């Protein structure tokens, strides 16, 4: 029985390439929407972020997937939290939605360091007020159901 050619797009490398391309498109369109919302031109952001205009254009069009370092530079240029871009690009795990967290991350009146300190304090208060149930209380709840 002769070997039949595999259909195009079936190999693991093809799947990986599609995933990377999709991620690049997602982060690129997100950056573009943030740039447009901030009313900053591509050239202005390029200058603010310290990345070349053609490279930034390729990122926005999904042709390139930027490194964490470049994302950090773009975040600074957009005056937004680099954490937001890292999560969008898949470098950081998405956390549960929180209006307080979202407000802190998008606030332009405070520095990145101040945002991180405030987030750490906020998260410590949340942990203190909502401790994770230990196994005995979970078992007790299951018994009562």
3-state secondary structure the chain: CCCCCCCCCCCHHHHHHHHHHHHHHHHHHHHHHHHHHCCCCHHHHHHHHCCCHHHHHHHHCCCCCCCHHHHHHHHHHHCCCHHHHHHHHCCCCCCCCCHHHHHHHHCCCCCHHHHHHHHHHHHHHHHHHCCCCCHHHHHHHHHHC
Residue range 24-33: average pLDDT?
86
For 41-78, the pLDDT digits (tens) are 999 999 999 999 999 999 999 999 899 899 999 998 99
């Amino acid at each position: 029985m002769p070997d039949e050619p595999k259909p195009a797009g079936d190999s693991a490398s093809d799947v990986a390439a599609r995933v990377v391309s999709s991620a690049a498109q997602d982060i690129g369109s997100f950056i573009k929407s943030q740039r447009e919302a901030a009313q900053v031109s591509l050239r202005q952001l390029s200058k603010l972020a310290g990345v070349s205009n053609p490279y930034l254009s390729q990122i926005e069009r999904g042709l390139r997937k930027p490194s964490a370092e470049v994302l950090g530079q773009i975040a600074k240029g957009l005056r937004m939290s680099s954490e937001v871009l890292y999560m969008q690009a898949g470098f950081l795990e998405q956390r549960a939605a929180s209006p307080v967290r979202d407000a802190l991350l998008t606030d332009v009146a405070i520095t990145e360091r101040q945002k991180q300190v405030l987030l750490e304090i906020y998260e410590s208060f949340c942990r203190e007020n909502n401790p994770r149930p230990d196994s005995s209380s979970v078992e007790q709840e299951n018994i009562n159901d």
